[in-house]
Amino acid sequence: MAATAPFAKMNGIGNEIIVADMRGRADRVTPAAAIALNADPATRFDQIMAIHDARTPGTAYFVDILNSDGSGAQACGNGMRCVVQALAAETGQSVFTFETIAGILNATQHKGGLISVDMGTPRFGWQEIPLAEEFRDTRMIELQIGPIDAPVLHSPSAVSMGNPHAIFWVDRDVWSYDLDRFGPLLENHPIFPERANITIAQVTSPETMIIRTWERGAGLTKACGSAACAAAVAAARTRRTGRSVTLQAPGGQLQVEWREDDHVVLTGAAEWEFSGTFDPTTGNWQRDTESAA
């Protein structure tokens, strides 16, 4: 049995996160451990954010991200905020530079507790997202669900925020769509060779949106930070909003700014729930005695 590692159960506006401390170790959290942790109602999660020692000069840590089905993820904005809060409480620092498989991310914890994460630059090329066939303009791609002459959802915007996203624009309440039925079909559609995060978005003003997201590898979630970024960028790109937007997700509010330097900054809260230790190989875990019951 591998030596146990500390973890914190947290959430980013309802996006359920496990922050695992894998510093000083050569092993990784296995897909089997992720699946086992997710099977326990107490540790059910959307993403695991595993903090490893830095592997690139100029960064403080490498963060490995796993979905609840054990698959890898390139980006998770809500999870990064949880990582920042955990490390800020430990170190007293407020500014961090991380490496993920999607690239380098900078993050800041502000006075008052809100946390901003620079999610990098969006990508719009069909091969970069990626899509399985060429679309010269990814502001609207040919994809629909439902009858051909009366589709329920159609013509999404496609964008990569380090991971692939499709945003379906709707005029009525986002809750009126059966996303837990459509989500798996769209996530696994052949047009998305690496699967995709699926978001339903309703623009309510030039500065506000409402979104619901089916996350690739995690399912229906209360919030998805990279999806909020993708929706905000796509809304600005299609002239539905400006470049700074407040998004209402089921779990709470997020602010996204698509800066003039092309970087996308996500700002929101993070919340600690409890801590414990776990086996990164099997997922067996134990709550810390000082954690709240």
Kindly list the catalytic residues: 76, 224
Radius of gyration of the chain (CA): 18
User: Tokens for 41?
Assistant: 């109602």
DSSP letter assigned to residue 57: T
- What is the C-alpha separation between 217 and 227, in angstroms, rounded? 14
Tokens of 241: 């909003």
Residue 82: its H or E element = helix 77-91
- Integer CA distances (angstroms), 11 to 8, 19, 78, 165, 175, in order: 10, 10, 8, 22, 22
Report the alpha-carbon distance of residue 63 to residue 59 in Å, rounded. 11
Best CA proximity match to 18, nearest among 250, 291, 275: 275
Q: Is 136 helix (H, G, I), strand (E, B) or coil?
A: coil
Say which residues have a Cβ less than 8 Å from residue 7's Cβ, sequence separation at least 6: 18, 19, 20, 21, 275, 276, 277, 278, 285
Read off the DSSP letter of residue 228: H
On whether the CB atoms of residues 203 and 240 are closer than 8 A, the answer is yes
Cβ atoms within 10 Å, residue 142: 10
d(CA 183, CA 289) in angstroms, rounded, equals 39
Residue 15: closest CA among 278, 254, 293, 265 = 254
Q: How far apart are CA 272 and CA 116, in angstroms?
A: 17
